[in-house]
Amino acid sequence: MIDHLRRHIPVLDWGRRYNRTALSNDLIAALIVTIMLIPQSLAYAMLAGLPPEAGIYASIAPIILYAIFGTSRALAVGPVAVVSLLTASALGQVADQGSTGYAVAALTLAFLSGALLLAMGVLRLGFLANFLSHPVIAGFIAASGLLIATSQLKHILGVEAHGHTLPQMLGSLFAHLPEIHGLTILIGVSATAFLFWTRTYLKPTLKRLSLPDVFADILTKAGPVAAVVATTLAVWAFDLAGRGVSIVGAVPQSLPPFTTPSLDADLIRLLIVPAILISIIGFVESVSVAQTLAAKKRQRIDPDQELIGLGAANMGAAFSGGFPVTGGFSRSVVNFDAGAQTPAAGAYTAIGLAIAAVALTPLVYYLPNATLAATIIVAVLSLVDLSILQKTWTYARADFVAVATTIVLTLGLGVEIGVGAGVAISVLLHLYKTSHPHVAEVGLVPGTQHFRNIHRHAVITDPGLVTLRVDESLYFVNARFLEDLIQKRVTEGCAIRHVVLMFSAVNEVDFSALESLEAINRRLRDMDVGLHLSEVKGPVMDRLNSSHLIRDLNGQVFLSQYDAWKSLTPASPSDAAA
């Protein structure tokens, strides 16, 4: 009972062994992460189309709930770029940005994602995430990064623009180009340039100055904070807000409020598909980060328990004024590098953010939106890695088709259609590949008991005997292929008296394949040709024995292909032509 509880509420496990060293390590990590998270939270709230405080609220309760239910020691949960984009895309279909309905729909979306993740965790359905192939995820994230960066250009240019696809966004930006605002561009472009510089050049420079690695790292990561402070001071000092620069403005000074998501049936119907997408994509992103970090310390995360942890975190967001969250890559890596030892580090981060929400929000009044947009653009452009196109092109064309489709459709038709088409096309391509399995006609390698492909090796064959090695499990998609193949092979050669199917690589025979084998057996009997099986694996044989096939087989089942050969060919190979 206790073990069972510990498994599902991991805090009971590591909490018992918590000591002073872990405490101080966790506190230091929490401080660093908190400073980094403040601008990031505001920025992702803006990306999701929500007021800035929503980003901070979405980082408090979820972190604590994940610390209780999650299994990763280093994962930091909160708003992340791709999920914020998905949120904006989903909410844009049900309400206008800035309306009450929009904020309520964000709660509902977090609630639905939480409920789905919890349900998947309880039902142990984590494997569903596997339907997203790596190329589809990579293509989707690259395309999302481009979409996100483009969506932020309006803040840099100081214009109004809308749209959820690349053509829409670019069209809208061009239409509003005459309204661009010089001061905003100045801030936006300098912030972007500064952030790119810190990211690309600061660290090597600091290292050349012989600063310790970890210190160089922290200074580099503090780039966004510096940009925030500098541009906020500039706006305040020169009254740039009065000259038309758009700023964050008044953010309520408060702890996260208690909120209740709307459970209106119409709203749920509109949001359920985006919620499924957010849950699965968030889960995939989070699990891959968590696994990478856990491996570094020879720890293990439990994907089904992760679903529970992320589900609880999203539920927390739904009831505390947030929006959908997941485990983020950059914040988790910072947390890990800063030495976080247990999920308690997350809880301390939450306390830090709560203090910020109560005490520090007046400080961001003059923060220009262009700076937030710059932090988003610089963060997401690192996600845009189109080398996946080249890599899959070299490795396997089917994977390339899946990536290219995902990227093109995500950019052109939006995130939901893009990822949906990516999943559909990878499944179809996989089924297509297995629908034409490799089947080798084999013969005996002289002087051995081995059988090899007759087209690749000098082997002994017999005109009366055809042996086919099937290199794939047999199931409905390829069952008929085998029927056609055998029919073709047998109608070609009139001397054929026996067909042997060598099943060494057949891991499964489903009911369709069973019926195909029965049909093959019937047709071969009509042609007066025997059908035999060899090297059938134990589990496959067990199943075939529960059918009529073996009883009605117009031939035998041989343990080894060599037994089949000995039994079905004339005594000496030289007689074979007779």
User: What residues line the site for its own copies (CB under 8 A)?
Assistant: 127, 129-136, 291-292, 294-296, 298-300, 303, 391-392, 394-396, 398-399, 426-427, 430-438, 471-473, 475-481, 483-484, 487-488, 490-491, 505, 507-508, 510-512, 514-516, 519, 522-523, 526-527, 539, 543, 546-547
The vertex-558 CA angle with 552 and 560, nearest 5°, equals: 155
User: Which residues are 247's β-sheet partners?
Assistant: 368
Task: Name the minimum Å distance from CB 335 to its own copies.
Answer: 18
Task: Name the minimum Å distance from CB 510 to its own copies.
Answer: 6
Q: Which is nearer to its own copies, 150 or 341 (CB)?
A: 341
Residues 6+ apart with CB under 8 A from 542: none
Task: Name the minimum Å distance from CB 267 to its own copies.
Answer: 26
Three-state SS across 348-380? HHHHHHHHHHHHHHHHHCCCEHHHHHHHHHHHH
Task: Name the minimum Å distance from CB 411 to its own copies.
Answer: 21
Q: Which is nearer to its own copies, 27 or 454 (CB)?
A: 454
Q: Which is nearer to its own copies, 60 or 479 (CB)?
A: 479
Three-state SS across 62-120? HHHHHHHHCCCCCCCEECCHHHHHHHHHHHHCCCCCCCHHHHHHHHHHHHHHHHHHHHH
CA distance 315 to 413: 30
Task: Name the minimum Å distance from CB 481 to its own copies.
Answer: 7
Task: Name the minimum Å distance from CB 459 to its own copies.
Answer: 16
Q: Which is nearer to its own copies, 226 or 440 (CB)?
A: 440
Q: Which is nearer to its own copies, 382 or 390 (CB)?
A: 390
DSSP per position, 277-323: HHHHHHHHHHHHHHHHHHHHTT----HHHHHHHHHHHHHHHHTTT--
The vertex-468 CA angle with 465 and 470, nearest 5°, equals: 165
CA distance 120 to 238: 53
Residue pair 554/520 in contact (Cβ under 8 Å)? The answer is no
Q: Which is nearer to its own copies, 184 or 521 (CB)?
A: 521
Q: Which is nearer to its own copies, 434 or 461 (CB)?
A: 434
Q: At 309, which amino acid appears?
A: G
Nearest to 571 by CA among 462, 448, 454: 462
Instruction: Reduce the DSSP state of residue 443 to 3 states and report it.
Output: strand
Q: Which is nearer to its own copies, 193 or 527 (CB)?
A: 527
CA distance 73 to 18: 13
Q: Which is nearer to its own copies, 23 or 128 (CB)?
A: 128
Nearest to 195 by CA among 156, 158, 166, 235: 156
CA distance 235 to 246: 10
Task: Name the minimum Å distance from CB 523 to its own copies.
Answer: 3
Q: Which is nearer to its own copies, 53 or 399 (CB)?
A: 399
Task: Name the minimum Å distance from CB 546 to its own copies.
Answer: 6
What are the angstrom distances between the C-alpha of 313 and each of 273, 280, 331, 374, 570? 20, 14, 16, 28, 72
Task: Name the minimum Å distance from CB 381 to its own copies.
Answer: 22
The vertex-444 CA angle with 440 and 446, nearest 5°, equals: 140
> Would residue 558 be called left, alpha or beta, if left means φ above 0 and alpha means ψ between -120 and 50 degrees?
beta
Q: Which is nearer to its own copies, 262 or 291 (CB)?
A: 291
Task: Name the minimum Å distance from CB 295 to its own copies.
Answer: 3
Residues 6+ apart with CB under 8 A from 339: 25, 28, 29
Length of the chain in terms of residues written:
578
Task: Name the minimum Å distance from CB 527 to its own copies.
Answer: 5
